[in-house]
Amino acid sequence: MARGSALNRVDWGLVFLYLILVTLGWLSIYASAYNEAHPSILDFSQRYGQQLLWISAAVILATAILFIDRRFFYAFAYIIYVTLLFVLLLVLFIGVAKHGARSWLDFGFFKIQPSEFGKFATALALARYMGRAQFQRHSLRDWMRVALIIGLPVGLILLQNDLGSAIVYSTFLLVCYREGMRGEVLLFLLFVAAIFIFELLFDKLYILLGLLLLTLVAYYFLQRQPKALLRLLLFQLLSFAVAYAASRLLGWEWEWYVLSLFPAILTIFYLLIQSFLQRLRNLWILGGLLAFSLLCSFSVDYVFNNVLDTHHQRRINDLLGIENDPLGWGYNVNQSMIAIGSGGLWGKGFLEGTQTKFNFVPEQSTDFIFCTVGEEWGFVGTSVVVILFLTLLYRIIIVAERQKEPFHRIYGYAVAAILFFHMTINLSMTIGLFPVVGIPLPFFSYGGSSLWAFTMLLFVLVKFDMDNK
**Integer Cα distance of 224 and 366 in angstroms:** 55
CA distances from 456 to 66, 116, 120, 122, 280 (A): 10, 11, 7, 13, 49
What is the rounded radius of gyration, in angstroms, for the C-alpha atoms of the chain? 26
What are the φ/ψ torsions at residue 247 (nearest 5 degrees)? -65, -35
Query: At 81, which amino acid appears?
Result: Y
* pTM for this prediction: 0.85
Which strand (E) or helix (H) includes residue 298?
A: helix 281-302
Check residue 1 and give its pLDDT.
39
The series of mean pLDDT values per 10 residues for the chain, 469 residues long, is: 64 94 94 84 87 95 93 95 95 82 80 92 95 85 92 91 86 90 79 78 82 87 84 89 84 79 88 82 82 82 74 68 62 81 86 74 80 91 95 96 93 96 91 82 91 96 86
Check residue 319 and give its pLDDT.
63
Q: Do residues 370 and 441 lie in contact, with contact meaning Cβ atoms separated by under 8 Å? A: yes
Beta carbons within 8 Å of 319's beta carbon, 6+ residues apart: 432, 433, 434, 435
Q: Is 101 helix (H, G, I), strand (E, B) or coil?
A: strand
Check residue 357 and give its pLDDT.
67
Residue 38 DSSP class: B
User: What is the dihedral sign for C-alpha 4, 9, 12, 15?
Assistant: negative
